[in-house]
Chains A and B, each alone.
Chain A
Amino acid sequence: METENQNPIAETPGRPVVKIFGVGKAGTALVGALATPEFAEAQFAIIDTDADAFAGSPATVKIHLENKLLRGLGSGGDPERGRALAEEQFTTLKSACAGANVVFVLAGLGGGAGSGISSILAKAAREAGALVLAFVTLPFDCEGNRREAQAQTALEQLKAAADGVICLPCQKISKLIDENTSVIETFNFSGGFLLEGVRGVWQLLTRPGLIQVHFADLCALVRDRHAENVFAFVEATGVGRSREAVEKILAHPLLDEGRALADSDAVLVSLLAGNDLTMAEVNRVMEQVKRQCTHAQIIMGAAVDANLKGKLYVTIIAAKQSTANMPSRVEARASTPGAGGKHDVVIARQQRPRRTGGSKAVQTQLPLTIISKGRFDKSEPTLHHGEDLDVPTFIRRGVPLN
């Protein structure tokens, strides 16, 4: 994968070097849970402002961001502090990311460390030449407005900094738990969901594919999507495993019992099974997925692992956005003179400066920002800090409506 990457592929040719960073308390916990033999090839690192969290973490690299002002009390829930610290230690972060082809950033957004540091880390990793994929959780509604707002800001920053963001709003989880679930269980549960996503992507990247899903495909799917990506990871065994997998997908709570698939515009499906994977099985799963998502562009991959005899893993990542914003079509549009005005603004957002020597040498084009302002077309534009407020807010924010 990622053979065009500027970094020489180090140990195992053909396989990317993956570094998994846990940021903040939630990130540290997630990394702790990930450190299983399955992820033996990955390198783990944790970053926090609070040294207490480091004890007992299996990570090989532990970066403690600290300065005198914090007095060892952590970032105190203030993302600005986390951010300032991370910016101060930018070179440390960058060197920690050096040598990796792919960096996963795991964090819980809403607090100080996770929200503040992760976007800076993503930036550092990109500068170090890695592709960055972030897996984050958004806080529960009950955690209050402030955390919610901080998390949203952080998510936006992260989306700008990382190649892709997969985000799990914890509130979705709360619908799945019953009255008697303890808080610890709930957090484990939501962490577990995120880990399933990490695991799915990990398998996608590390297992040799029969029908390969390139990391670029994955990034195209999650990059610049201003919507939430929903993902599901299901596992089935036995003779009727393909049928079981389909049933599980359609009942999966994070996919809203399959409804999310119907709403999505791009879906990545990756199957992983033992040598005994039959074409009929692949067919059966894909058939059902296709039937669910009539509008979506489907990216499909299949891989085989000899150890998984009798098992079938299916990873689905679905992204919601208007089809006009599919990166593959964007280029076509931008290069066609006179192509409809309203998407051009969106193009402007998508073509942000890429790091030098990126995976695709795409020459950026200046977008034609012609956008109808309706009744304000002929009036003096309302400029506020360089933003034309006459243009609908949802367009400037890139909020998708399908």
Chain B
Amino acid sequence: MFEDSNIVVGLEIGTSKICVVVGEQNAEGAVNIIGLGQSRSRGVRKGEIINPEQVEEDLRSAVFEAEQMADVEIRSVYLGVSGSHIRGFNNRGMHTVVSAEREISEYDVQDVIKNAKAINLPAENTVVHAVRQHFFVDGHDGVTNPVGMLGARLEVDMHVIHGNANRLQNAIRLVRGTQLEVDEIVFNGVAASLALLNGDQKELGALVIDIGGGTTEYVVYSDGAIRHTGVLAVGGDHVSNDLAYGLKVPLSRAEKLKIEHGSALVLEESKGHTISITNELGLELKRINVEHLQRIMSLRIEEIFRLIAQELEQAGLTDYLRAGVFLCGGGSRVPGIVKLAENVFQMNVAQGHPGAVSGLTNTLDQPEFCTAIGLAKYGSLKNRKRAARPLFTPGGLKQAFGRFLHRS
């Protein structure tokens, strides 16, 4: 049971593809990607499962591919979740230190975090992540680890990401149905930002936008902690759908046109330029105006950015993004998207590259794998934390044993 504990697997059930990334963790905790499996996803819309049977089939083939490549048996995965029901907000928890010498202990920290999580969520919602941002000791700002400090009142700012329990459970149940264990669920946006950003960028403040097939996730980091998260249930699918509608072509054709002639900005040379689409016999079916194609795309993508920019403006975070904006996800492959994003956000924009891992770098250096890589990375961070906890404390032993029982 322990021999494979250095394997971490990230699984993303996306709207356009299902992606499995197998990572091997070395003694220092760094991840080396040794396997990758993917398959076209057919049962997902806007990041949520609508046809479990089909998803299961696609999932099996992706997992099989990854197992073949990595030559390991995948037992458990870190599952990425998304969907419009997922929301993030900031909350502050408070706790009074009771011990006589006023020294803040590990238990005080746990207590204050528990208080910060105890928020009025809608009854059907559950917490996906609760990330601590900063502690305050007696109102003193900017403490990252208060254990051992002296103080009477301990407060913490948390970023809480929550989602609809049933919808989250759907994905978990489906994965469990394929005899895979789910270690943890992770919000896709958080995973993508883990893969993309390094410590400096998180410290400076950065916005990560993951434009997927059905959803667009965004995460704001500043001062090293997550400040803001959100999901827009709009993505590449919408672009294709708009094209199919506007150009009056079938969806599959629209998808193809998008990839071949798409642009996030209306290019000067495409004005008045037309292309003809032909059937399999080479007969011309229709002429498509490239300018219209690009205008439709441009409007949609710009709208996505504008909605995000507006939200950040309202949250007052625009001035904190000193490292700029990072784009990832399949949607960020559209030519000219960086320029468009620069126009909207009025700051530096870059295509993100998953720099947090090693192995298979050529294959993996694609924007659409960011989330899955980030999931594996997330798993490795969790593992490291777990490893750091001594095994033979009562809790540690019980947990390790529990895991053993659970798996066998």
Taking Cβ atoms with an 8 Å cutoff, the residues of A that contact B are: 145-146, 372-376, 379-380, 382, 384, 389-390, 392-395, 397, 399, 401
Contacts and interface: CB of A to CB of B under 8 A. Distances in A.
Given A145-B346, A376-B241, A379-B46, A394 B296 contact: yes
B46 A393 contact: no
Contacts of B289: 401
Closest 9 CB pairs of A and B: A392-B242, A382-B233, A393-B299, A374-B241, A393-B300, A401-B292, A393-B303, A379-B45, A394-B299
Q: Which of A372, A373, A393 gathers most chain B CB within 10 Å?
A: A393
Q: Which of B50, B84, B233 gathers most chain A CB within 10 Å?
A: B233
Contacts of B46: 376, 379-380, 382
A389 B296 contact: no
B242 A379 contact: no
A373 B296 CA distance: 15
B292 A397 contact: no
Contacts of B84: 380, 382
Contacts of A380: 46, 84
B1 to A, nearest CB: 42
Nearest to B85: A380
17 contacts: A145-B346, A146-B346, A375-B45, A376-B237, A379-B46, A379-B50, A380-B84, A382-B234, A389-B238, A390-B238, A390-B241, A392-B238, A392-B296, A394-B246, A394-B300, A399-B299, A401-B296
B251 interface: yes
Interface string B277-305: 00000000000010010011001101100
B232 interface: yes
A145 B343 contact: yes
Interface residues of B, number: 26
Given A145-B346, A392-B300, A394-B296, A401 B237 contact: no
A394 B295 contact: yes
A141 to B, nearest CB: 11
B244 A374 contact: yes
Contact of B233 (A146, A372, A389, A394): A389
Contacts of B89: none
Contact of B246 (A373, A389, A392): A392
A375 B241 CA distance: 7
A376 B245 contact: no
Contacts of A146: 346
Interface in B291-350: 292, 295-296, 299-300, 302-303, 307, 343, 346
A375 B213 CA distance: 13
B234 A372 contact: no
Contacts of B303: 389, 393
B242 A376 contact: no
A188 B238 CA distance: 45
Nearest to A389: B234
Nearest to A392: B242
A379 B289 CA distance: 30
Interface string B218-243: 00000000000000111001100110
Contacts of B299: 393-394, 397, 399
A353 to B, nearest CB: 26
A392 B245 contact: yes
Nearest to A376: B241
Given A382-B46, A384-B307, A392-B296, A401 B246 contact: yes
A145 B345 CA distance: 11
Contacts of A392: 238, 241-242, 245-246, 296, 300
A375 B296 contact: no
